[in-house]
């Protein structure tokens, strides 16, 4: 895999993981006992910590990308393993 391709795929893993990690640990003003600012939505988080989210996201996405890269390198799961149909000859690996 080319380095630029690896970086692009890692970036995709990072963005998707950020959306999965972001809601963990957030509390609304009702849960923390804080008062709402005029115009604030009741469900808006009152303790959002972007640095903490970025660190968690980086760790989780690095692990997921490592598993992805190991799968590409060692061929643990191939398209033949997950395809519910016959794989076209153009997608098969050359001998």
Q: What global pTM score does this model have? A: 0.75
pLDDT at 95: 57
- pLDDT band of residue 88 (cuts 50, 70, 90) is confident
Rounded to whole angstroms, the Cα distance separating 55 from 49 reads 10
Helix (H, G, I), strand (E, B) or coil at 54: helix
Do residues 49 and 55 touch, judged by C-beta distance below 8 A? no
Task: Report residue 58's pLDDT band, with 50, 70 and 90 as the boundaries.
Answer: very high
DSSP helix, strand, coil percent of the chain (3-state; round to 5): 60, 0, 40
| Per-residue model confidence as pLDDT tens digits over 28-57 | 888 888 888 888 888 888 888 999 999 999
What confidence score (pLDDT) does residue 15 get?
97
């Amino acid at each position: 895999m080319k380095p630029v391709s690896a970086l692009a795929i890692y970036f995709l893993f990072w963005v998707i993981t950020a959306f999965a990690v972001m809601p963990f640990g957030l509390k609304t003003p009702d849960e923390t006992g804080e008062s709402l600012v005029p115009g604030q939505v009741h469900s808006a988080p009152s303790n959002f910590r972007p640095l903490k989210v970025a660190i968690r996201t980086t760790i989780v996405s690095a692990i997921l990308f490592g598993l992805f890269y190991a799968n590409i390198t060692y061929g643990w799961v191939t398209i033949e393993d997950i395809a519910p149909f016959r794989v076209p000859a153009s997608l098969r690996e050359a001998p």
